[in-house]
Amino acid sequence: MTFRHIVAASLLLFTACLTVGANADERPSLRESRDPHLQRLLERGLDRLGLSAPVRAHKLAVALVDVTHLERPRLASVNGDRMMYAASLPKIGILLAALYDVERGHMALTRSLKRSLTDMIRVSSNEEATRVMNLVGKRRVNQILASQRFRFYDTRVNGGLWVGKEYGPRPAFQRDPLHNLSHGATVMQVARFYYLLEAGRLLRPDLNAEMKDILSRPAIQHKFVKGLRGRNVEIFRKSGTWRHWHADSAIVESPRGNYILVALAEDARGGDWLPAIARTLHDAMFPPQIARK
């Protein structure tokens, strides 16, 4: 057994023993909600955009979940459990850890903390992300993400959300045990995060509402936000960019239905791919309506 596998096994054992309350109520299981029609829609959309080759090369991962009917989610994905560097997207893990500590009574949701969380998400402030991470406890963030309650990092499904480095010049303090990433994610685990949030089952109701408010009104107008411009939608999102890695994740709500979209790309062209993916998949799910004469 290699050292990395020993560390992975130790993390799994530790988090299985970590007591953080009842498991998040994921019924039905998102992994058991795959939909052949939505899968075809996703694959055809990516093919029309000329993105089948990056998918085959494992340079692009996408998850699409129709949550119009929360009790009957429909899932489609490509490279769903492929863990990739995700830049600032895993800041949603810091957001969850902080609000979990509020739920547990370890912290108070003061105006100052709410402002820090909002700046961390909406304008992707690295300074505030590092500040909140240290309030929670750097290593404790990953313990909460990997805990039995959330399982947003799970060695049995190739990982997931991981925050092992402050958002600044300091070196990583805890790289993920499977892939040696400082900031990582899989589209499947991020989709689960948003599904539980949209279903109101991530935290207690008032903190679910706070989290959605923090994720609303994105200030950075690129990627999914750019691609969905002009559509009648409300977006709750967190993106990430560093060098040739591009990430975005969102709950998209519209009068015609709601869905979750997550994409991770390892390519210099990813900043152009993501707006096109959002626009193409949205229009495929909800074709533009032609006014009747």
Q: What is the model's pLDDT at position 68? A: 97
pLDDT computed for residue 167 by the predictor:
97
Domain at 269, CATH number: 3.40.710.10
Q: What is the pLDDT of residue 153?
A: 98
Compute the Cα dihedral for 34, 36, 39, 43 and give only its sign. positive
Q: Are strands 183-185 and 74-78 parallel, antiparallel or unpaired?
A: unpaired
Q: Under DSSP, is residue 97 helix (H, G, I), strand (E, B) or coil?
A: helix
Domain-located, residue 226: yes
Which domain does 105 fall in, by range? 3-285
Specify the number of domains making up the chain.
1
pLDDT value of position 89:
98
* Rounded-to-integer distance, Cα 45 and Cα 278, Å: 10
Q: Does residue 291 form part of some domain? A: no
Q: Is residue 231 part of a domain?
A: yes
> Considering the domain boundaries, does residue 83 fall inside one?
yes
Residue 164 gets the label, from left (phi > 0), alpha (psi -120 to 50) or beta, of alpha
| DSSP SS3 for 266 | strand
For the chain, which ranges sit under pLDDT 50? 1-22, 291-293
What CA–CA distance (Å, rounded) separates 56 from 250?
Answer: 24
Distance, first Cα to last Cα, the chain: 70
Q: What is the pTM of this model?
A: 0.92
- Asked, for residue 86, whether it belongs to a domain, the answer is yes
- pLDDT at residue 288, as a whole number: 84
Percentages (nearest 5) of helix, strand, coil residues in the chain: 45, 20, 40
What's the pLDDT at 290? 56
pLDDT at residue 26 in the model: 81
Strand, coil or helix: 134: helix
pLDDT for res 7: 43
* In-domain check, residue 16: yes
**CA atoms within 13 Å, Cβ hemisphere of 144:** 23
What pLDDT is recorded for position 6? 39
In DSSP terms, which residues pair with 183 in a beta bridge? 163
Q: Is residue 293 part of a domain?
A: no
**Domain annotation covers residue 292:** no
Residue carrying structure tokens 């990395």: 4
- Amino acid identity, residue 261? L
